[in-house]
Amino acid sequence: TRRITVRDIALAKERGEKWPMLTAYDAMTASVFDEAGIPVMLVGDSAGNCHLGYESTVPVTLDQMTMLSAAVVRGTSRALIVADLPFGSYQEGPVQALRSATRLIKDAGAGAVKLEGGERSYEQIRLLVEAGIPVMAHIGLTPQSVNAMGYRVQGRGEEAAAQLLRDAKAVQDAGAFAVVLELVPAELAAEVTRSLHIPTVGIGAGAETDAQVLVWTDMLGLTPGRVPKFVKKYADLREVMGNAAKAFAEDVVGGTFPLEEHSVH
């Protein structure tokens, strides 16, 4: 079996087929999703919050993204692996973006990169695409800008909606193969999806986008505390893992683990 490519992604839109994307930050989790048939995996800089213990994605470094992306590539054989360019690794301009993306493609083995921003990231996307690096764009709520925009719904109101449409057109014109729409009204996401020939990947963007992405620790119930309204929880791993840890602790303290069957002589 060969890996999914951006060509397959383009064909899916032509055929009107929807597809799922999940984040992954390590080889073992990625191998589970790969075996489950998830066609596209995102090594998101949400690793900052969900894997590395930071409060936002802002502190995540290119070295960290390279290490995590390489692990996800090693754990998979079929999925297209998209690696996030972290904050500070592409904002200086197209040349910096190319240097950073090259590490994720060449050192980590990712099949594509993702970066945030619409019109403001046009030149970066264009140079990467010219260099042969597939780019997934990301507009609407862009968490790397949390210090400027907070975590609020984007594209509400006529002006903001028009800007989101311009951003979507800009990343398509620049050559992006897909675009993430994060936390935008469902009606607007539907309009963007209809007006683009590249697929839209929604998160908190309603049901009409071409694809859907969720952060894996959210959808599997591992993230502590409250998760956003747009998350559907498909399992409660936090409870499963917590109970297992407690059972192990009780066995050790009570002397019921290990048993004869776990011992060698």
Which residues are designated catalytic? 182
44 near ligand KIV (CB under 6 A): yes
Neighbour-count burial of 160, counting CB atoms closer than 10 A to its CB (0-12 exposed, 13-18 middle, 19+ buried): middle
Among Na ion, ligand KIV, none, the one that 23 touches (CB under a kind-dependent 5 to 8 A) is ligand KIV
Residue 228 or 258: which CB sits closer to ligand KIV? 228
What tokens appear for 242 in the block? 């917590």
Q: Which stretch binds ligand KIV (CB under 6 A): 42-50, 62-70, 126-134, 238-246?
A: 42-50
**Residue nearest ligand KIV by beta-carbon distance:** 44
* Binder among 85, 135, 215, 219 for ligand KIV (CB under 6 A): 215
Residue of 34, 84, 167, 210 that binds ligand KIV (CB under 6 A) = 84
With binding defined as CB under 6 A, does residue 23 bind ligand KIV? yes
Give 84 or 210: the residue with its C-beta nearer to Na ion: 84
175 to 214, contacts with ligand KIV by CB under 6 A? 180, 182, 203, 213
Contact between 38 and ligand KIV by CB under 6 A: the answer reads no
**Smallest distance from Na ion to CB 116, Å:** 7
Dihedrals phi, psi of 26, to nearest 5 degrees: -150, 165
We find the least distance from the C-beta atom of residue 203 to ligand KIV, in angstroms, to be 5
Q: What angle do CA 159, 142, 196 make, to 5 degrees?
A: 60
Q: 88 Cβ partners below 8 Å, 6+ apart?
A: none
Q: Considering the rule CB under 6 A, would residue 101 count as an interface residue with ligand KIV?
A: no
Among 30, 40, 41, 45, binds ligand KIV (CB under 6 A): 45
Q: What is the nearest approach in angstroms of ligand KIV to the Cβ of residue 77?
A: 22
Stretch that binds ligand KIV, among 27-35, 43-51, 156-164, 185-193 (CB under 6 A): 43-51
Q: Which of residues 127-166 bind ligand KIV (CB under 6 A)?
A: 138
Residues of this chain that bind Na ion (CB under 5 A):
44-45, 84
List interacting residues with ligand KIV (CB under 6 A): 23, 42, 44-46, 84, 138, 180, 182, 203, 213, 215
